[in-house]
Structure 1
Amino acid sequence: MDQYLTFATNNPMLSMLWLAIATLLLFSFIKGKLSKVKEVNNQELTLLVNREDGVIVDIRSESEFKKGHIVGSKQLSQEKINNNTFQGLENSKDKPIIVVCTAGLTAAKAANAMAKAGFDKVSVLKGGFSAWQGANLPVAK
């Protein structure tokens, strides 16, 4: 323990940096566990759709959606999500909703908006459509 204190007093910048990184990691971990929105992988998405009648919501642009999308998914623009306009999804509030974007980065914001709008089981596809394609899973055009 004395060595840690000696290191901390001799290297205050490194110690502060380490403490900041540890705090951010802990915050990120706790936030993920407490969030209503969960991340699912390709297999979990398939199970949610097949067993629980889940709905896949693709938030990519309409042109990207037309080039290829997960079979059975519905396209919903980011603009409609920002306006809380969830056309065609009103009857699916109690079903699992899986939000898909290109790489899994922008879907979290849309999923949080849907959770705030009253959707009970909202998830995000980890890795997005790129991960789906990378696994050679079926794509509709």
Structure 2
Amino acid sequence: MSRFLEYTTNHPFLIAAAAILAVLAIVIEIRERAKGSSLIATGDAVRLANSGALVLDVRDAGEYETGHIIDSRNIPAKEVAERAGESLKKFKEKPVIVICENGFASASAVKALRTLGFSKVATLRGGLRTWRQENLPLVKGKKDAKQS
């Protein structure tokens, strides 16, 4: 213990920097949990999708047609609050994975879905950009897609 006290008195700037970083890490974690959005990795998304989860792509229709996850449904983010209540009613108790291009735009869709009573909503960490980086499959066009 005496060595620790000696270290702290000899290196006050390092101790202050470590304390600031610890406080920042705690604040960031609290803010993420307060948002209510859980982020999932691509491996977890694949596992959930294979077990019956709804994959909801909230990009615009044009972006969706250039490449989307197989069996995903497309409702643009700005329309989720209006359209999801009726068209996705049967998925309220199932897991829902919300996907956008980079993982940021899906936050508003997650909030809207939670407001509508969806209890198991998650966002793909990094969005489709991460999906592509991991060379996971995408489908192009609308013919295999489920439009809601």
Any conservation in 2 of the 1:36–1:122 contact (CA below 8 Å)? no
> Is 1:30 aligned to residue 30 of structure 2?
yes
Q: C-alpha displacement at 1:21, in angstroms?
A: 5.5
TM-score with structure 1 setting the length: 0.79
How many matched pairs? Answer: 134
Structure 2 unmatched runs, 5+: 141-148
- Matches of 1:63 and 1:74, distance apart in 2: 14
Once the two structures are TM-superposed, the CA of residue 120 in structure 1 deviates from its matched residue by 0.8
1:99 is the counterpart of 2:102: no
- In the TM superposition, residue 115 of structure 1 has moved relative to its aligned partner by 1.4
Aligned twin of 1:109: 108
TM-score normalized with structure 2 length: 0.75
Decide which moves more: 69-78 or 24-33: 24-33
Give the secondary structure class of the aligned counterpart of 2:136. coil
Question: Could you list the per-position Cα deviations for residues 55-82 of structure 1 after superposition, in whole angstroms to 9, with x for gaps in the alignment?
Answer: 001111110001110001111112212x
TM-aligned CA distance change 1:34 to 1:79, over 3 Å: closer
> Which residue number corresponds to residue 145 of structure 2?
none
Shift of 1:37: 2.2
User: d(CA) in 1 for partners of 2:36 and 2:70?
Assistant: 25
| Map of 1:85 onto structure 2 | 83
RMSD, aligned α-carbons: 2.5
Moved over 2 A (4+): 1-8, 17-25, 30-37
- One-letter code aligned to 1:54: A
Q: Which amino acid aligns with 2:53?
A: G
Q: Which runs of 5+ in 1 are unaligned?
A: none
